[in-house]
Amino acid sequence: MSAPGTATARAQPNIALVKYWGKRDEDLILPVAGSLSMTLDAFPTTTRVSVDPALDEDSFELNGAPAPAAARARTVRFLERVRELAGASARARVVSANEAPTGAGLASSAAGFAALALAASRAYGLDLDAPALSRLARRGSGSACRSIVDRYALWHAGTDDASSFAEAVPAPDMRLVIVTVDGSEKAVSSREGMRRTAATSPFYPAWAATTEQTLEEMVTACAAGDFEAIGQLTESHALRMHAVINASMPPVRYLAPASVAVFDAAASLRAAGVSAWATADAGPNVCVLTRPDDAAEVAAAVAPLGAVRTVGPGSGARLVDSAQP
Ligand code: 2P0
């Protein structure tokens, strides 16, 4: 059992099949359109929050060392929101560890804020239901609202704080073969990249106008278990996101030649009758979506292109015994 004022939570990253790119409200983190993702069964972040009235300020330890200033500031802002909700003022000690390679495009901020939302809300005595927890996580990082949810999450864009949250949707069992072609930190953060796209890309209005339609088609395809449609929508939507990003000024390009090679490998696999569709986030690494039965063949085919890890759908944020690391 946790001591009073202490809670530990664990959450995993998610990979979007219909992507989130761009905000209609920067402060509330309301997206310009909804999105749909798979919560992964890998790369957990575990976070312990201990409320301590003796502290003068919040502390944040990440992977065994004091967190960098920017990460600490973002965490403190998030804790301020939790204190507001709880009517509390005591500061907290946050200790977090993650197994995701930071900056490699595995959206570790999603796992981080999902785990923090659950641990901090409990440590401050709040017992939020799943939609409320998803809304809280969203305030830390948009994509974090989806990592609250088990397996497949639909983030309703919403029009205000109350209506913008993620919930579970039915979808068939799938695998993502993650191909890490470059493990280094990305040059332009998602947050900055989104701002630049929204402010300067001439294709942004079309992206915003069409993503909700793609999302509806994806929800239908997932509910029907229509793998072909899920795959086509996934790859097409990822390429549309990179197209709208690539049209920004100053230019931003996240895909590298090695990333494009993985898209080509997915196309070759499809031509050979293997289920394989590529997607990529704000970085050079590519995920190949496939049926569970084809995952081993896909992984073998892309292995020469980068470090390969096959993942499936996993749990949303949950409490764990604080005695665990
Ligand atoms: C996604 N990404 O849907 C998209 C695809 C990256 C590319 O969600 O500013 O870190 O904290 O709300 O959540 C990354 O964006 O951005 C992201 P903020 P976040 O997964």
CB-based burial label for 315 (10 Å; 0-12, 13-18, 19+): middle
Residue nearest atom 20 of ligand 1, based on CA coordinates: 16
Is the peptide bond preceding residue 250 cis, with omega within 30 degrees of 0? yes
Q: State whether residue 101 is helix, strand or coil.
A: coil
User: So what's the pLDDT on residue 1?
Assistant: 46
Residues 6+ apart with CB under 8 A from 280: 105, 238, 242, 254, 255, 259, 263, 286, 287
User: So what's the pLDDT on residue 325?
Assistant: 47
Task: Tell me the pLDDT of the chain (325 aa) as tens digits.
Answer: 466 799 999 999 999 999 999 999 999 999 999 999 999 999 999 999 999 999 999 999 999 999 999 999 999 999 999 999 999 999 999 999 998 665 455 657 999 999 999 999 999 999 999 999 999 999 999 999 999 999 999 999 999 999 999 999 999 999 999 999 987 777 899 999 999 999 999 999 999 999 999 999 999 999 999 999 999 999 999 999 999 999 999 999 999 999 999 999 999 999 999 999 999 999 999 999 999 999 999 999 999 999 999 999 999 999 998 655 4
User: So what's the pLDDT on residue 105?
Assistant: 54
Residue nearest atom 11 of ligand 1, based on CA coordinates: 141
Ligand 1 pocket test target in 18, 20, 28, 259 with most atoms within 8 Å of CB: 20
Ligand 1 pocket test target in 78, 143, 154, 281 with most atoms within 8 Å of CB: 143
CA of 282 to the centre of ligand 1 (A): 8
Q: Rounded distance, CA 312 to CA 314, Å? A: 6
CA of 1 to the centre of ligand 1 (A): 34
Rounded to the nearest 10 degrees, what angle do helices 227-246 and 204-224 cross at? 170
Task: Please write down the long-range contacts of 250-255, taking CB distance under 8 Å and 24 or more positions apart.
Answer: 250/196, 252/188, 252/193, 252/196, 252/197, 254/186, 254/188, 254/193, 254/280, 254/281, 254/282, 254/283, 254/284, 255/280, 255/284
CATH code for 6-171?
3.30.230.10
Assign domain 175-311 one CATH number from 3.30.70.600, 3.30.70.890, 3.50.50.60, 1.10.10.10.
Answer: 3.30.70.890
ipTM of the prediction: 0.99
> Which residues have any ligand 1 atom within 6 Å of their CB?
16, 19-21, 29, 35, 107, 109, 141-143, 190-191, 281-282
Q: For the chain, where are the alpha helices, taking DSSP H only?
A: 69-86, 108-123, 130-140, 144-147, 190-200, 204-224, 227-246, 257-271, 295-302
CA of 21 to the centre of ligand 1 (A): 6
User: So what's the pLDDT on residue 263?
Assistant: 98
Q: Rounded distance, CA 132 to CA 237, Å? A: 28
CA of 35 to the centre of ligand 1 (A): 10
Amino acid occupying residue 74: R
User: So what's the pLDDT on residue 103?
Assistant: 47
Going from N- to C-terminal start, the domains of the chain cover 6-171, 175-311
Tokens of 146: 């989806």
Residues 6+ apart with CB under 8 A from 307: 179, 180, 183
User: So what's the pLDDT on residue 186?
Assistant: 75
Tokens of 194: 């989104």
Amino acid occupying residue 65: A
Q: Are 169 and 38 in contact (CB under 8 A)?
A: no
pTM value > 0.90: yes
